[in-house]
Amino acid sequence: MRELKVVKVERVTVDIPFSEHCAPFMSRHLRDWSVSEVCIVSSDNGLTGVGETIPFYTWGRVTEEAIQRVIGANPFDLLYDDSLGAGLQMALWDLAGKAVGAPIYALMGQKVRDGCPIAWWAIDMPPEDWAKEAAQAVASGYTAFKLKARPWYDIFEQVKAISEVTPPHFRLDLDFNAFLLNSSNALPILDELEDFSKVAMFETPIHQWDVEGNKQIRRHIEKPIAHHYGSPPIITALKEQVCDGFVVSGGAASVLRQGIVCAEFNKPFFLQLVGTGLTTAWTFHLGAVLTHAQWPAITCLNIYSDDLLTEPLTIEEGYGKVPEGPGLGVTLDEEALERYRVELPLKRETKRKVYVVVWDSGRAVCYGSPDAYHQDFYAGNQPVSHRGVRLEELEDDGSAHFEGLYEKVQRGPVVSRWPL
């Protein structure tokens, strides 16, 4: 085969609506995850490769400098250059696979599985809404669910609600993102949550840099503890035995390197690469060659109303079928690309709101934004877990009462009683 050269790189930004049920919750805090940048790389022999970056949640954005570096180059020379960014690197792999008529996984290594485990994902929601998500996950072929456990919701009621609508084999990954803060907080909560048969693992219960605290948790908790690879440094994490497995993400070179280290030390992990059907197909190819990608991957595919593919990926009994066609093995939906095309920065309607965390005693703390209550709980100013706690959202009703409260919360949290 003659040498292949990249002659053009196009970037198309799209704003994909979230699923109907997810939309109000994603819009509260992670609104910009709806934005995807699709890279289309053309070669001198008429082939094209496609890739995707979620620019507001990515291990690496695609820069103009990276694009200029790719033009005129042989894609095979750049496949492991993680500095290119998510969508551009993915598109080069897709192009390379198409050039030789092979699926991406065949260029990466020895295939070890035909189906990759994958989990449903949801941002924090009230118990009844997590239950609706779980029921939809079951109907869509999933058997695992990764959940954002947050101290402004009752985690015990949330898990109970999901347990009531899912089959016995359904499993939950509770991701605390360190909101339990320290081992003295975490141990009694995790110990009680272990009694739920469907709880499969706990992710980052406390800050990962707290080596001694994490060692204490792992000694006392029977169910697996997952940490993001790299914090603390992998040598420390393995030597001190702070966790049972890892969350792996990044570019092709980084992911494959991390996967090999995990295999050498017999540590399972799950891949976490967020995006639509393009990113999910890419994740399946990575998972196909990494022996220890044994925990359900997270791509958040389910939060989008459109996967950007002409034919959906197959997900059955908790596993996503690895595409067998050349490159990514999927086809970009050109009509969807045009339908959702936008230019950045987006002009979005912003509604004024006050966010209120309410405890069963009637105590309430009011905040001016989601970032504000995240920061207040991370600072240890509020309980890390409480029965009956919930988050309320107050929209601007034009009243003097709202106006006064809104003005106050812009300066900091306001302690009050519910109802306000």
Mean pLDDT of 313-335: 98
Burial class of residue 343 in the structure, from the number of CB atoms within 10 Å of its CB (0-12 exposed, 13-18 middle, 19+ buried): exposed
Structure tokens at 159: 């898990």
Q: What are the start and end residues of each CATH 3.30.390.10 domain in the chain?
A: 6-103
Please give the Cα distance from 167 to 164 (Å, whole number). 8
Q: Is 178 left (phi over 0), alpha (psi -120 to 50) or beta?
A: left
Q: What are the start and end residues of each CATH 3.20.20.120 domain in the chain?
A: 115-326
239-258: pLDDT as tens digits: 999 999 999 999 999 999 99
Mean pLDDT of 1-14: 91
Q: Taking the CB of residue 171, how many other CB atoms lie within 10 A of it? A: 19
- Residue 1 scores a pLDDT above 60: no
Mean pLDDT of 34-58: 97
Concatenating the DSSP letter of every residue in 115-175 gives: EEEB-EEE-S--HHHHHHHHHHHHHTT--EEEEE--TTS-HHHHHHHHHTTS-TT-EEEEE
Q: Which residues pair with 115 in a beta bridge?
A: 321
Cα distances (angstroms) measured from residue 52 to each of 213, 323, 339: 38, 17, 17
Mean pLDDT of 332-352: 95
Q: Are strands 144-148 and 120-122 parallel, antiparallel or unpaired?
A: parallel
68-79: pLDDT as tens digits: 999 999 999 999
- Topology (CATH level 3) of domain 6-103: Enolase-like; domain 1 (3.30.390)
Task: Provide the mean pLDDT of the chain.
Answer: 97
179-220: pLDDT as tens digits: 999 999 999 999 999 999 999 999 999 999 999 999 999 999
Instruction: Indicate the pLDDT class of residue 350, thresholds 50, 70 and 90.
Output: confident
- Residue 2 scores a pLDDT above 80: no
Report the top-level CATH class of 115-326: alpha beta
Please give the Cα distance from 291 to 279 (Å, whole number). 20
Q: Sign of torsion, CA 184 185 191 194?
A: negative
Mean pLDDT of 7-23: 98
Mean pLDDT of 361-384: 98
Instruction: Indicate the pLDDT class of residue 349, thresholds 50, 70 and 90.
Output: confident
Q: 279 φ, ψ to 5°? A: -65, -35
